[in-house]
Structure 1
Amino acid sequence: MIGNIDIIISVFYILGIVTVGLWAGFKKKEVKAGTASNDYFLAGKTLKWPMIGLALFATNISCLHLVSLAQSGFDTGLLNGNFEWMAAFTLILLALFFVPFYLKSNVTTLPDFLERRYNRACRDWLAVISILSAVIIHIAFSFLAGGIVLKTLFGVNMYVSVIVIALLTGIYTIIGGLRAVVITESIQTVVLLAGAIIITVICFQKTGGWSSITQTLQDTNSLDKLSMLRPAGDASGMPWYAVFLGYPVLGIWYWCADQTIVQRVLGAKDVNHGRVGALFCGLIKLLPVFIFVLPGLMAFVLAQRGLFDVSSIQHIDATGKTITETKGIYTLMITQLVPTGLVGVLAAALLSGLMSQISGALNSIATLASYDLYQRFQPYASDLKLVKVGRISAAIALVASIALLPLLNQYESLFQGINDIIAHIAPPITTVFVLGIFWKKASAKSAQYTLWFGSLLGAIVFAVNKLMPEAAISSIPFMMMAFYLCCTCVFMQVVLSYIFPVEHTKQSAVLYWKSPLEPLRGKAWGGIGNYKFLSVLLIVIMICMYWVFR
């Protein structure tokens, strides 16, 4: 439980964010007739690179990440930091190959893009899957992590706290649209990073420095916790080859083909702002390993020395073994290691992550429901009607997300749970997007059937894993399962593209790259703002980081 001063800081922060969100939503430039929906869903395409980069990061990083990455740091060390660093490579792909297509085709949603490249059936399927994944992955899991933390910090029932946050976030998101989302996300990113840095510095000081950390890990035979790349057969189920084979499948879907994330880029002022914004986010993704994962590892070091008490999250199982419920490790770090006053700042940081993730997902759900589903049956609906439908859809999504909490709470590790689900959703979507923009012969029918049967296969494998844990495929780590499913989907679409040869329309004929070098010929900014220079710089930085923590 935290003190009154910390509660006051947290409450004032929440009220401040809601006020800013409402102000951003109401204070709009004059909207031309027939452009209300564009202004609501894409901020009138006025977003510049700093705001895009910060908003991408804020939409990705939520309370779930603070809680689950600290948990993974305590349990397995820096290993799950791969999900953060590998994202930088995927964001380079977004900047170089996907952003130009999305912006030059002037699409509002990614399902819209898929229809132009393939057919309407692909658009419908992706719209439904995108809405479901936003509800489960971006909102429900974030609510679960936030509810666990708020219950421990404030002593409030998890569902009560979640409902209050849902209502407050929903107010400014549903009213203000993407502009309100991006402005509040930019503020929340700064607060979230500040809070994470505070607890990192405090933990670092208490451990006595890096040499002291490594000495403790060596004394407890835990030095492998500092390694990002594990050998084959590692007990974690994530050896180095699983990271490099499996993550791209998850990452391309998440960063390049998921509406919730990419919508920030779709609102870019122009292609260069979209590209540099994505690369800026890739640079920021260096930070989570040090300010989200490493604090959990330092908490482990302090616990080994008896300076961090985890008894409150321990229990004795039926066999007499002591079990530590590490879901609550981040909350313990706040209450035990942080002085009064700063606890309120850290609570505000957690709320920042929770609210930014939810607001971004709600806006994308509203966009998908309006443009990709409702407008199909009501093609002449007015802009104001589309906005109204979007707002109603966002409200329904909030209710559905809360209803899913008891089911998702069954996962021991929230981070593993969310990636387990993504691993079975992503393969067919990643396949049709990558082949669609790089292979001229990828046909509409092949993409349609790959989405249908690939998603069905993923659902069957997921069900077998959960209902028949003794089955052979249940022993395959989720990262490798994602890779195997993707290989199956690629084989499926290639074969089907020859069975059902492509028949390009006027639109689809220009929506694939004629050569790998074609996307690099676009007009770019000069100097250090050149997206080619920034891409190479980011690659070099990431290689150096992996070399240090190999």
Structure 2
Amino acid sequence: MQVSTTIPSITFVVANAASGQVSEGSVGDIGGMAPLDTIIIVVYLLGVVGLGLYAGHLMKKRSSSGESRDYFLAGGTLRWPMIGLALFATNISCVHLVSLAQSGFDTGLLNGNFEWMAAFTLILLSLFFAPFYIKSRVATLPDFLEKRYNRRCRDMLAVLSLVSAVVIHIGFSFLTGGIVIRDIFGVDLYVSIIVIASLTALYTIVGGLLAVVLTEAIQTIVLIAGAAIITWIAYDIMGGWEAMVASLESSGNTDKLSMLRPHGDPSGMPWYAILLGYPVLGVWYWCADQTIVQRVLGAKDENHARVGPLFAGFIKVIPVFIFVLPGLLAFTLASTGKLDLSPLTDSNGVVDSKGIYTAMITQLLPVGVKGIVIAALLAALMSTVSGALNSISTLTAFDLFKRFRPTTSDHQLVLVGRIAAAVALVVAILLVPVLVKAPSIFNALNNIIAHIAAPVTCVFTLGVFWKRANAFSAQWTMVIGAVTGVAIYTINVLEIDTPFADIPFMMMAFYLFVYCVIVQVVLTLFSGKPVPADSQALCWNSPLQPLRAPGWPGLGNYKFLSLALGAIMAVLYWIFR
């Protein structure tokens, strides 16, 4: 597919947040970017790459627990603040910044559920999954699956994890980031992707997980600051919360403030679909995806592994207000004439909301601030890609290469991991022309996850809570569940008229999960195959068992933090119900 390399100069109105005055400028003209903004962006990029390379130097200098463990798991030295910040940074990509703003414009705060529901899933990671991962001292989640079930389950999860890392974490991130940079600077889509890919690969491939986590900690701060700035400026121009609500009331769109929608809502995401469907996606993504959980695997001890995800859960409260709310503010700003969306409006008066975030950057932000927000976009892109590259190198080295050459030295494993990351980067770039055809990046991403998450969520959940779940049932559940999910997804993409076509993707995730649970339970009971004692040891005796670990005293105790996070989320949902 040929992607246009030129962006027409579009005249627009620039609103100055401080004075309320307006001036003219143009989108797509790189000369329109002030020197100060350019300097901020360049300094940020050089700073991140330099920090990553320095982390690589530290890793080599202190290599005491084995080169491969230092490279892939940071030598098991990560503390809870770095784990929490890194989890957040790896999760938040350009897809989130751009697409959540788009969804805020289209449907209001609804898609903020993907952020707030994550807090509950991170509680599950902290309470039930992280302790087993740390105690078993696994380098990868497929490694854990082999210990709980068998080698075939490990191989299948390794392949699925590699594919999801390349397509979901890297490919879609490249696409969204490239589109934003193209729209703002007028730079060719692929040129911008290759430049960012090269810079990210430089420090990630050299420095390993330590470089990834250190840079992600900085990128999280930049990301939150940049997103908060654009939200505050839009909020100030709008005139505050009351003015925004009044605008929504006058246009009959007060439902945009609701996070929990009734049955039959046009969005296809009523409250029960979120309640039933998100946990299926969430357990796979937050508890069983190597790209995310690798930060927990590098924890210093069990307490750090528990508290780190909870810290990330508290941070996940913020995105609704700094990622989704800007889109809703753009909707009300446009309806009151304070934001000019005419360049995004077709002849029928329909606004193409894909350009909402870019329009807000170019129209609402003063000189200097624009550079900070663009740096935040780059932070979101680079942190996600770097995390995925590190997980790809770990999976390839431990789960694929070392299987066939078990005597491979630490140095050779690191070399294999670095080569795998470089190859994955090239493959992800080559996939962009295919991914660019997706009409809605955020919906396309979640639709894919909804059809592949169920079997993984099933085998991990039953594996941790049901001692009788055996290897035979797990491996066939993964096969049957994956084939079923891919088949249904393909049928829907081809728009073949079937009963599946009208099922919202969140409910589809739930139905596929129930189907997989039935398959695994039936196969377990009918096969009658025993579960080895060492495999049963990787299963809780009861749901209350993981809560018996004392944890840290005081406010840092994982039990207190879990209750506090759950209570905060309950209150927020009550307010925005």
- TM-score range normalised by the length of the shorter chain: over 0.9
Question: Which residues in structure 2 correspond to 1:369-448 (within 5 Å)?
Answer: 369-448=396-475
The match for 2:575 is: 548
Preserved contact between residue 94 and residue 255 of structure 1 (Cα < 8 Å):
yes
Deviation at 1:34, TM superposition (A): 6.9
CA distance in 2, matches of 1:7, 1:530: 44
Post-superposition shift, 1:315? 2.6
- One-letter identity of the residue aligned with 2:54: W
Alpha-carbon distance in structure 2 between the residues aligned to 1:495 and 1:410: 40
C-alpha distance in 2 between matches for 1:120 and 1:239: 40
- Asked if the contact 1:195–1:345 (Cα under 8 Å) also holds between the matched residues in 2, the reply is yes
Correspondence for 1:102: 133
Report if the CA contact (8 A) 2:59-2:71 is conserved: no
How far 1:469 moved relative to its partner? 4.7
Unaligned runs of 5+ in 2: 1-28
Given the alignment, which residue of 339, 344, 349 partners 2:366? 339
Task: Find the counterpart in structure 2 of residue 269 from structure 1.
Answer: 300
Residue 539 (structure 2) pairs with residue 512 (structure 1): yes
Contact 1:25–1:172 at 8 Å: present in 2 too?
yes
Cα distance, 1:201 vs structure 2: 0.6
Q: 1:502: Cα distance to partner? A: 3.9
Residue matched to 2:221: 190
CA distance 1:502–1:101, change in 2 (3 Å): farther
Per the alignment, residue 68 of structure 1 pairs with 99
C-alpha distance in 1, partners of 2:383/2:65? 29
Matched, 1:134 2:165: yes
Partner Cα separation in structure 2 for residue 117 and residue 523 of structure 1: 25
Query: TM-score if structure 2 supplies the norm length?
Result: 0.93
Task: Look up the match of 2:11.
Answer: none
Equivalent residue in structure 2 for 1:361, among 383, 388, 404: 388
Does the Cα contact within 8 Å between 1:442 and 1:494 map onto a contact in 2?
yes
Give 2:444's aligned amino acid.
G
Which residue of 1 is the match for residue 83 of structure 2?
A: 52
Kept in 1: contact 2:220–2:379 (CA 8 A): yes
Q: Alpha-carbon deviation of 1:252? A: 0.3
Match of 2:273 among 242, 246, 250: 242
1:57 maps to amino acid: F
| Contact residue 442 and residue 502 of structure 1 kept, 8 A | no
Match of 1:535 in 2: 562
Task: Name 2:486's counterpart in structure 1.
Answer: 459
Structure 1: how far apart are the matches of 2:46 and 2:65? 33
Q: In the aligned structure 2, how far is the partner of 1:97 from the partner of 1:486?
A: 19
TM-align CA RMSD: 1.1
Match of 1:28, SS state, is: helix
2-side partners of 1:382 and 1:33: how far apart?
15
| Counterpart contact for 2:182–2:189, Cα < 8 Å | yes
Counterpart residue identity of residue 122, structure 2: L
**Partner amino acid, structure 1, of 2:197:** A
The aligned runs of 1:12-411 (5 Å cut-off) are: 12-28=43-59, 30-31=61-62, 35-316=66-347, 321-411=348-438
Does the Cα contact within 8 Å between 2:95 and 2:441 map onto a contact in 1?
Answer: yes
TM-superposed CA distance for 1:3, in Å, is: 2.5
Compare 408-417 and 46-55 and name the one that shifted more.
408-417
Checking the alignment, whether the CA contact within 8 Å between 2:274 and 2:506 is kept in structure 1 is yes
Are the counterparts in 1 of residues 59 and 207 from structure 2 also a CA contact under 8 Å?
A: no
Give 3-state SS (helix, strand or coil) of 1:322's partner: coil
- Aligned partner of 2:524 in structure 1 is 497
Give the Cα separation in 2 of the matches to 1:506 and 1:446: 17
On the 8 A contact 1:105/1:113 being kept in 2, the answer is yes
Partner AA of 2:232 in structure 1: V
Partner of 1:315: helix, strand, or coil?
coil
Post-superposition offset of 1:299: 0.5
Residues 12-67 of structure 1: per-residue CA shift (max 9 Å, x gap): 21111101100111123645577100000000000000000000000001111110
8 Å Cα contact 2:65/2:75 also seen in 1:
no
Does the CA contact (< 8 Å) of 1:143 and 1:162 recur in 2? yes
Instruction: Give me the whole-angstrom Cα distance separating, in 2, the residues matched to 1:27 and 1:326.
Output: 45
What is the CA-CA distance between 1:328 and the residue it aligns to? 1.4
Kept in 2: contact 1:34–1:383 (CA 8 A): no
AA of the residue aligned to 2:74? A
Code of the aligned partner of 2:416: V
Q: Does the C-alpha gap of structure 1 residues 33 and 352 become closer, same or farther in structure 2, counting only changes over 3 Å?
A: closer
Which deviates the most, 321-330 or 485-494? Answer: 321-330
Deviates more, 1:468-477 or 1:518-527: 468-477
Alignment coverage as a number of residue pairs? 546
Residue 162 of structure 1 and its aligned partner are, at CA, apart by: 0.3
- 1:330-354 CA-partner distances (Å, limit 9, x unpaired): 0110000010111000010000000
Q: CA deviation at 1:153?
A: 1.2
Counting aligned pairs with the same residue, the percent is 62
Question: Which amino acid letter does the alignment assign opposite residue 387 of structure 1?
Answer: V
Partner deviation per Cα, 1:397-423 (whole Å, 9 max, x = no partner)? 111111111222222221111101100
Matches of 1:322 and 1:209, distance apart in 2: 27
Alpha-carbon distance in structure 2 between the residues aligned to 1:439 and 1:104: 18
| SS of equivalent residue, structure 1 residue 514 | coil
Maintained 8 Å contact 1:6/1:344: yes
CA contact (8 A) 1:118 1:447 kept: yes
Q: How far apart are the structure 1 equivalents of 2:63 and 2:429?
A: 37
Which segments of structure 1 move beyond 6 Å, counting only runs of 4 or more? none
* Matched residue type, 2:315: I
Greater Cα offset, 491-500 or 399-408:
399-408
Code of the residue aligned with 1:91 in structure 2: it is L
Q: Aligned in 2, Cα 1:33/1:287: closer, same or farther, shift over 3 Å?
A: closer
Specify the alignment match of 2:509 in structure 1. 482
C-alpha separation between the residues in 1 aligned to 2:112 and 2:70? 36
Does the Cα contact within 8 Å between 1:193 and 1:349 map onto a contact in 2? yes
Tell me the equivalent position of 2:15.
Answer: none
1:488 deviates by 0.5
**Contact 1:78 1:225 (C-alpha < 8 Å) held by counterparts:** yes
CA contact 1:22–1:172 (8 Å) conserved in 2: yes
- Contact persistence 1:21–1:181 (CA under 8 A): yes
- In structure 2, what is the Cα distance between the partners aligned to 1:111 and 1:297? 41
What's the CA shift for 1:314? Answer: 2.5
Per the TM alignment, residue 104 of structure 1 is displaced from its structure 2 partner at its CA by 0.2
Going from structure 1 to structure 2, the CA distance change for 1:413 and 1:380 (only over 3 Å counts) comes to same
What is the one-letter code of the residue matched to 1:541?
I
